[in-house]
Amino acid sequence: MSTSISLKQINKLAIPALISGVSEPILSLTDAAIVGNIEINATESLAAVGIVTTFLSMLIWVLGQTRSAISSLVSQYLGANNLEAIKSLPAQAIFIITSLSVLIIITTYPFAESIFKLYNASNLILDYSVDYYQIRVFGFPFTLFTIAVFGTFRGLQNTYYPMLIAIVGTIANIILDVVLVYGIDGLIPAMHIKGAAYASVAAQLIMALLSIYYLLRKTEISLKPTFPFNKEIKTFIIMILNLFIRTLALNVTLYYASAFSTSYGKEYIAAYTIAINLWFLGAFIVDGYASAGNILSGKLYGQKNYKTLVQLSNKLIKYGVFIGIIIAIIGGLLYYPIGNIFTNDPEVLNQFYNIFWIVLAMQPLCALAFIFDGVFKGLGKMKYLRNVLLFSTFIIFVPILFWLDSLGYKLYAIFIAITFWIIARGIPLIIKFRRQFLPLSQKM
């Protein structure tokens, strides 16, 4: 059995997934851009947004892995033409993950100051970080709920409705950011960094409500958890545990990067905040094609259609590298205007411009790593993903970072270490995939 996968088929899934995926970093980029241009303590506010975003990203990525697990299982059952057997799983998974998110709020809210001291935040930056986090954290359950619903849609080979939801949420966040941060004379007082946090929470709530509406109206999947648990709940939990460990390793990278940049001074953490959020933006643009790989590979694996699976991987490699190069070129052409969007502080801009070229140069490498991340998630091979990230973080990233930091390279040390980390993530996945599936494809 073999059917060709066309660019049109890939783009039908990838482009909506790209748009919905980009909404996540845009929420943080909008906060950074708006807050970085306020009249009072803009640099400290920008630094605080960067620190809190790093911590929240860790929480979201650790628990948000339900999207990949749900998508993998649903797409494989869809490919095997046995969707009925998996229909009860999404609601059960969503119930579990949202319950955990409430527990996270209870256990982190009272200790926000201690948490951000671990990131080397102090004085005004620490105060702003606590203020920002203790508002934004209440959007956490809404975010995880939406992510899990997106995973269900992806498993059903549908990225259109997640795109609509993400567009509305992003627009709402931008409008509310401007209104609440700067205020409206005589109507709404300027709330500064707290206003950015309230805007994000409101946008996350809107997205969650739209997720409920579209899932119930456009699919046969229920949001009411039923018992006993679906027979695949054990597989789901094992996937989540492997992805949990993997994501902890990923966040070791982000923690060290944020903590080291904060220790260099407020100009460095502000510059790092801009650079890493732009890096996230590039990652989420590529994630559209990673999502297509996730969705289609799961379905083809469920069909045991290995020849088409290999064809899919070859096309995704070409598209991914092309997109990475385009991102790098656009970033190069807009090199200086991009910095001015986020801040007018000359010291922050100087540090940002020093290292932004590294962010751009690694984009094609990021594309390969992220796309094969998506393919392996679709295949359900979470254990291998876990092992690769443990290796790339603790054997590659951490030693290189500490070595270059000891030589006084500062932000250069961070982004050079991230580049080698990306290489160590991508190459093993490509080798493993081709060793396993090329022989299987040739037997068909």
List pLDDT tens digits, range 300-333: 888 888 998 999 888 888 888 898 999 999 999 9
pTM value > 0.85: no
**pLDDT for the residue numbered 25:** 66
Q: Which of 7, 12, 208 is CA-nearest to residue 97?
A: 208
Written in H, E and C, the secondary structure of 242-287 is HHHHHHHHHHHHHHHHHHHHHHHCHHHHHHHHHHHHHHHHHHHHHH
Contact between 70 and 236 (Cβ < 8 Å): yes
Instruction: Report helix, strand or coil for 188.
Output: strand
What is the per-residue pLDDT for 369? 92
Q: What is the per-residue pLDDT for 431?
A: 93
The pLDDT of residue 353: 94
Query: Residue 331: what are its φ and ψ, rounded to 5°?
Result: -60, -35
Q: What is the pLDDT of residue 328?
A: 93
- Which three-class secondary structure state does DSSP give residue 184? strand
**pLDDT for the residue numbered 78:** 84
Pairwise CA distance, residues 161 & 145, whole Å: 15
pLDDT at 24: 65
- The verdict on whether omega for the bond into residue 228 sits within 30 degrees of 0, i.e. cis, is yes
pLDDT at 395 (0 to 100): 96
Q: How many residues does the chain have?
A: 444
pLDDT at residue 444, rounded to an integer: 61
Two tokens, residue 59: 């929480």
What's the confidence (pLDDT) of residue 217? 92
Q: Low-confidence residues of the chain, pLDDT below 70?
A: 1-4, 21-25, 27-28, 444
Closest CA to 167 of 333, 330, 359, 20: 20
Q: Quote the tokens at residue 297.
A: 């590979």
Which tokens go with 4? 């060709």
